[in-house]
A and B are shown apart, each in its own frame.
Chain A
Amino acid sequence: MKLVVLLKQTFDTEAKIVLKDGKIDDSGVTLIINPYDEFAVEEALRIKEKLGQGEVVVVSAGSDRAQEALRQALAMGADRAVLVKTDGLQLDEMVVAEVLAKVLQQMEYDLILAGWRAIDDSSAQVGVRVAEILGLPQINLVTKLEVGEGKITGHREIEGGTEVVEVPLPALVTAQRGLNEPRYPSMKGIMQAKKKELKVINAADLGVNATPKVEIKEIFLPKGKQAGKIFTDEPAVAVAKLVKALREEAKVI
């Protein structure tokens, strides 16, 4: 089975956000595989292991630095990687999706996996847009996946419950937390990853002619909050004061 994972490199979840010249400053920030994409990588590896055959290819659109994230996925066990360098291009979710789809059209795939969103921009669009461009059915926010003969069944999270959906292959699924526990790369995996293929393509050479439909006009940080009221009285008094404040001052009860 040919498995492709779309992977984005993101800021570590603990990272503080600092603006420099109106843009988000990434200097000194630890970069990681987007946690939701890590579930997708893990799931692809498990499917391949279960079937006893197949190939897992990780594909990322980003800067040169995204090679670190791809190498990590290779160290986890992916077979090869493709980086599409998007430096210098005007991007929005549509352009990124068009770029990725162009690369995917030159590959073989039965199943494409991605995180349901990236924890940085959290747009939750690119995977689904890729599915639309490639004409694939999708199952979004999957917490359990079963691969059958020519089809897959995904348990997906919906408000107030779970929905079990079956679609024919090839298809695209997006991973949600709960799907699995991603493995850590082993020392052997890290050594092997160095020898695995990591192909670099320039997005500019792909002949994508989509242009951004949205643009970011401004980035700003939320206003710092005023120090709150802390009640340090004995518990019963503190509780009474708190409830009174919520009722009369904050008016939320």
Chain B
Amino acid sequence: MGKVWVVAEQREGKLKKVTFEMVTLARQIGGEVEGVVIGKDVKGLASELGEYGVGKVYVADHPDLEQYTTAKYTRVLAELINKEKPEVVLIANSAQGRDFAPRTAQRVGAGQVSDITGYEEGVFVRPIYAGKAYTKVGATSHPLIVTVRPNVFSAAEKTGGQAAIEEVAVSFMPEDLKAIVKEVVKQVSGRPELTEADIIVSGGRGMKGPENFKLLEDLADVLGAAVGASRAAVDAGWREHRYQVGQTGKTVSPSLYIAVGISGAIQHLAGMGSSKVIVAINKDPEANIFKVADYGIVGDLFEIVPLLTEEFKKLLKS
């Protein structure tokens, strides 16, 4: 195995957790683990990666890289790949990674394995049909681009160390600068993103109306959790599309998924089935969700959820 690259995911000058998860995976794959950091004023992040045992970090630092666009990131990464010839390039399967990874793969003539959740002796494991089945995928040529699902691999621990830092010359072609980001609207919410959250509290048709999601938000706030919804709740207009978990929504893998008033349509199970621990709260003991749940309470959610919020509050305060 040659070089295995971890393309750091950073926002506003901070490395995202998935970056350290990719370091863990890179070590499992073996070979020389190297990092790539792209952005503006990001040299500090390169040294930080070194503390996690990454031997060498390529830094593309340029004022034009402050704002992400597909073309700019693709230009930088594709040229670097062509020059340094890594064997495997790991990129976060985030909104950003998903956007420039396939574009880069095509430019360098590489295959890509998307949204992987496992690695076993040279092959990458990934869900298909939103987790109703899995495939093991291998490369027939290199480089290979791999996008890694956040929250699946454990984050690498600090090992202490210092990375050799190589600054990459960055220059753009006129066509790289054609896309203009007019505006970035941030969702004002103190809650984590669904795809990154460690705990998710999700509501379905049983919530009976948009106002009742307040119950789930209260519970989520105690747990530091994200709030999701089933397709039924989204179709009813109670929650925005971006919060939908399921085959036509987000695929999530938190350590704890609490499904409230969700019957467990196959569509929904597909999106959350890889959660480590699943809790179901539903008044129907025959509901499908109980077939996948590790723990369940059969009963009235309007009674149970407030009790649960109180109980967690007590526990987490003590």
Contact = CB atoms under 8 A, between A and B. Distances in A.
Interface string A181-225: 000000000000000000000000000000111111111111001
A245 B279 CA distance: 11
Nearest to B183: A164
Contact of A228 (B123, B193, B293): B293
Q: Is the interface of B mostly helix, strand, loop or mixed?
A: mixed
Given A122-B115, A124-B102, A230-B296, A163 B140 contact: no
Interface stretch (A58-66, A70-78, A103-111, A165-173): A165-173
A13 B179 CA distance: 35
Interface residues of A, number: 82
A217 B123 contact: yes
Given A97-B106, A239-B308, A178 B241 contact: yes
A149 interface: no
A232 B141 CA distance: 55
B137 A250 contact: no
Given A121-B128, A161-B185, A253 B256 contact: yes
A164 B114 contact: no
A19 B133 contact: yes
A38 B173 CA distance: 35
B95 A158 contact: yes
Contact of B140 (A121, A212, A242): A212
Nearest to A101: B106
A219 B133 contact: yes
Nearest to A93: B112
Contacts, number: 262
Interface residues of B, number: 96
A19 B107 CA distance: 35
Contacts of B180: 165-167
Nearest to B115: A122
A146 B294 CA distance: 46
A238 B273 CA distance: 24
A20 B242 CA distance: 35
Contact of A229 (B111, B138, B296): B296
A228 B315 contact: no
A159 interface: yes
A119 to B, nearest CB: 5
B103 interface: yes
Contacts of B185: 161-164
Interface string A92-117: 11100100000000000000000000
A212 B138 CA distance: 11
Given A160-B186, A177-B241, A123 B112 contact: yes
Contacts of A215: 137-138, 140
A252 interface: yes
B132 A16 contact: yes
Contacts of B102: 93, 124-125, 128-129, 132
A17 B132 contact: yes
A213 B133 contact: no
B168 to A, nearest CB: 21
Closest 5 CB pairs of A and B: A213-B111, A214-B111, A178-B241, A125-B102, A132-B106
11 contacts: A36-B248, A97-B106, A123-B114, A137-B178, A158-B96, A162-B187, A221-B134, A222-B134, A231-B297, A252-B255, A252-B276
Interface of A: 11, 13-17, 19, 24, 35-36, 92-94, 97, 119-125, 128-129, 131-133, 135, 137-141, 143, 153, 156-168, 176-178, 211-222, 225, 227-232, 235-236, 238-240, 242-243, 245-247, 250, 252-253
